[in-house]
Amino acid sequence: MQHFRVKTDIRYGFGALASLDELAGQRVLVVTDGFLANSPLMATIRQALGGATVEVYDRVTANPDTATVASGIVVFQRFKPHAVVAVGGGSPIDAAKAIVTLAEAEADGAPSFIVIPTTSGSGSEATSYAVISDPASQSKVPLTSESMLPDIAILDPECVRTAPPKLTADAGLDAVSHAVEAYVANDHSDFSDAFAEKALQLLCRWLPVAYKQPDDLAARERVHNAATMAGMAFNNAGLGIVHSLSHAIGGLFPVPHGRLNAMILPHVIAFNAGPLGWGPATLTPCALRYAHLGLMVDVKATTPRGRVLGLIEDCRKLAARLDMPTTMSGAGIAKAEFQRALPRLAEAALHDRCTAGNPVAVGVHDLEAILTKIA
Ligand SMILES: [Fe+2]
């Protein structure tokens, strides 16, 4: 028996933020960062929460750590919220997930957990994962719990309207990598395939528009919805070595997660697909799945082999249209420094939890070879 879990009530489209007014009369703890706490968006959210008693915990910083979570739990325990509302990109959402889950264990009843993403990419509003930094062990600790799956996700394009192009590109390409990785991951299913296919179709069509024309709100809306669909896909299907490698590199070099994924993705598709013969019978099951995904995104090729190559090329072109670098040196990291770190990065990627979801077994030398390609 397999599971496809769907828990989150997804409220989308313009005006979706207004549904916060149903929290009138309740105690609402908003978890966010210092920048968003003073933004016009927060004023809109506060207005929608007009009838509620609101406390804002705004001490979340990038890569939230155990201390941030611990002080959030203190606020939670003092305030005893009926609802927790996370507002932000991956960091405030991850911090809120950890606060809700750890504080909930000691609370009398679980508060409702609402997530309002302000970037279109991580899919965190539809997943049961969070990553918290632990300064003591100098590591990032992945947390997973069903209680981290939000009860409600509010996808209002108003929340991403002012996201700068670089952020739109980095986050959007993270979503692209979620869709492609989930499509071939070991736990994929007909259900996760449906979300991955549609997410990738929407992203290929609308992400370049949202990047070039940030005020195109129709494009913003499609990209925002697609990122959540990709999150629903990978929350059930798993991910693969694009994320293993990206986690390892991101722990050592300050390059955004989605930018790394875009750089790595074409090489991982080529690796996972294996040698591409000319007839369908010569392609591996994984290569045939990539070929089918190519067909879904309108790759113009008549053979499965051509569709795999076309999918790789489309991923490259999409990243190029978003002005992404194709190498670490292009991303500002000295080649020699990156090459020195290669063995350590490959080893870390091998032990990353996403490696188990990759459709093809990998060894440390495979990972080093992929890393060498992006030096
Ligand atoms: Fe990701």
Domain extent listing, the chain: 9-160, 165-373
Q: Helices in 238-363 by DSSP H: which ranges? A: 241-252, 257-273, 285-296, 304-321, 335-350
Rounded to the nearest angstrom, the distance between the alpha carbon of 219 and the centre of ligand 1 is 21
Rounded to the nearest angstrom, the distance between the alpha carbon of 247 and the centre of ligand 1 is 9
Rounded to the nearest angstrom, the distance between the alpha carbon of 287 and the centre of ligand 1 is 22
Fold classification of 9-160 is: Rossmann fold (3.40.50)
Rounded to the nearest angstrom, the distance between the alpha carbon of 53 and the centre of ligand 1 is 34
CA angle 355, 357, 361 (to 5 degrees): 65
Rounded to the nearest angstrom, the distance between the alpha carbon of 365 and the centre of ligand 1 is 23
**Which three-class secondary structure string do you get for 35-84?**
HHHCCHHHHHHHHHCCCCEEEEEEEECCCCEHHHHHHHHHHHHHHCCCEE
Going residue by residue through the chain, which has 375 residues, state the pLDDT in tens, using 9 for 90 and above. 888 988 999 999 999 999 999 999 999 999 999 999 999 999 999 999 999 999 999 999 988 999 999 999 999 999 999 999 999 999 999 999 999 999 877 666 789 999 999 999 999 999 999 988 888 877 778 899 988 999 999 999 999 999 999 999 999 999 999 999 999 999 999 999 999 999 999 999 999 999 999 999 999 999 999 999 999 999 999 999 999 999 999 988 999 999 999 999 999 999 999 998 777 778 999 999 999 999 999 999 999 999 999 999 999 999 999 999 999 999 999 999 999 999 999 999 999 999 999 999 999 999 999 999 999
How high is the pLDDT of residue 73? 96
User: Which structure tokens are listed for 311?
Assistant: 């999918």
How high is the pLDDT of residue 107? 64
Q: pTM of the full predicted structure?
A: 0.95
Rounded to the nearest angstrom, the distance between the alpha carbon of 277 and the centre of ligand 1 is 31
Q: What's domain 165-373's architecture?
A: Up-down Bundle (1.20)
Rounded to the nearest angstrom, the distance between the alpha carbon of 323 and the centre of ligand 1 is 19
How high is the pLDDT of residue 310? 98
Q: Which residues surround ligand 1, an ion (CB under 5 A)?
A: 174
Contact 79, 100 (CB under 8 A): no
Rounded to the nearest angstrom, the distance between the alpha carbon of 56 and the centre of ligand 1 is 27
Contact 268, 240 (CB under 8 A): yes
Rounded to the nearest angstrom, the distance between the alpha carbon of 292 and the centre of ligand 1 is 22
Distance (Å, whole) CA 260 – CA 208 = 18
Rounded to the nearest angstrom, the distance between the alpha carbon of 36 and the centre of ligand 1 is 22
Q: Is 139 helix (H, G, I), strand (E, B) or coil?
A: strand
